[in-house]
Amino acid sequence: MAQKTKILAFAGSSRKESWNKKLVQAAAEDLVGPDVEVTYIDLADYPLPLIETDIVSEKDLPENARKLKQLFAENDGFLISSPEYNGSYSGVLKNALDWISIRERDATTVYEPFHGKVAGLLAASPGRAGGLRGLEKLRVLLSDLGVMVLPEIQAVGSITTAFNEAGKLNDEKTADAVHKLTQKLVKTTKSLALAA
């Protein structure tokens, strides 16, 4: 039996009613299949202090940082929906990624939980651009961490009216673009696993 492709899906927001959480959950449903295992997490369930060199050097990683590091290491790819803050990604997301990237003594690579993984990026925003500027900066950050980021990114604008009562995207063109992104994520992740 072929090994399942594991995808970790989450939003770069801890806000309870986050549109990005809604978008990534809708997109993650599109990933479900017999050969794909999707794990959805909420960063609000993994609160972390602001990363500080003194904290890192004086004691072990916070328990939630260790849990996130384990989740990132166990999965083959990431589906991330990131809000845009002042033309960039959120502080919550940056802080989590910084904690996860801390190298422990037994790590075989500098960014072990990220190295060789694939990411598909989404964004949701009430504005027309849909958070596009933030995704471009997030692409750079993830690439620096050793993640292959798919060139296809999907920013959904006017998000407050983008979903129907069933939680599906209203616009057929947008829904199709999200679908293509999720399928490309699975296909690319599988191809890299076979090549390894």
Along the 196 residues of the chain, how does pLDDT read in single tens digits?
468 999 999 999 999 999 999 999 999 998 888 899 999 999 999 999 999 877 666 567 889 999 999 999 999 999 999 999 999 999 999 999 999 998 766 655 555 899 999 999 999 999 888 789 999 999 999 999 999 999 999 999 999 999 998 888 999 999 999 999 999 999 999 988 777 6
Q: Give the integer Cα–Cα distance in Å for 83 and 165.
A: 22
CA-based nearest residue to 29, from 171, 155, 134, 169: 169
Position 148 scores a pLDDT of: 97
| Residues 71 and 6: beta-carbon distance below 8 Å | no
Q: Is this prediction's pTM over 0.85?
A: yes
Position 106 scores a pLDDT of: 62
Structure token pair of residue 18: 């986050």
CA-based nearest residue to 192, from 39, 33, 5: 5
Domain ranges of the chain: 5-195
Exposure pattern of 136-152 as b/e (b: 16+ CB <10 Å)?
Answer: eebbebbeebbbbbbee
Architecture label for domain 5-195: 3-Layer(aba) Sandwich (3.40)
Position 59 scores a pLDDT of: 65
Position 137 scores a pLDDT of: 96
Position 46 scores a pLDDT of: 98
